[in-house]
Amino acid sequence: MSDKDKSEWFKAWFNSPYYHILYDNRNDAEAEEFIHQLVNFLNLAKSSSVLDLACGDGRHCRVFANKGFDVTGLDLAPESIKVAREKSGPHQRYGVADMRTFDLHKQFDLITNLFTSFGYFDSSIENAKVLGRIRKHLQPDGIFVLDFLNLTSLERTLVANEVIEKEGVRFNISRRIEGGQIIKNINFEENGNTHEFAEFVQALSIDELTSLFIDAGFRILATFGDYFLNEYSRTESPRVILLATKA
How would residue 123 be classed by pLDDT, with cut points 50, 70 and 90?
A: confident
Query: What's the pLDDT score for residue 25?
Result: 67
The helix/strand/coil state of 16 is coil
**Helix intervals (H) in the chain:** 3-7, 9-14, 17-22, 28-42, 59-66, 78-86, 124-136, 151-157, 206-215
Looking at residues 49-74, what average pLDDT do you find? Answer: 96
Asked if 202 and 119 count as a contact pair (C-beta separation under 8 A), the reply is yes
- Whether the model clears a pTM of 0.75, i.e. scores above it, the answer is yes
Share of the chain above pLDDT 90, in %: 85
**Angle of helix 28-42 versus helix 59-66 axis, rounded to 10:** 50
Residue 2 has pLDDT above 90, yes or no: no
The residue-averaged pLDDT of 130-153 equals 98
pLDDT at position 168: 92
Among 100, 126, 119, smallest CA distance to 182 is for: 119
Question: What is the arithmetic mean of pLDDT over 194-213?
Answer: 96
Domain 3-149+205-246 -> CATH class: alpha beta
Residue 71: predicted pLDDT: 98
What is the pLDDT at residue 26? 67
Domains of the chain, residue spans:
3-149+205-246, 154-200
Q: What is the pLDDT of residue 29?
A: 86
Q: At 32, phi and psi to the nearest 5?
A: -65, -40
Whole-angstrom distance, CA of residue 174 vs CA of residue 163: 9
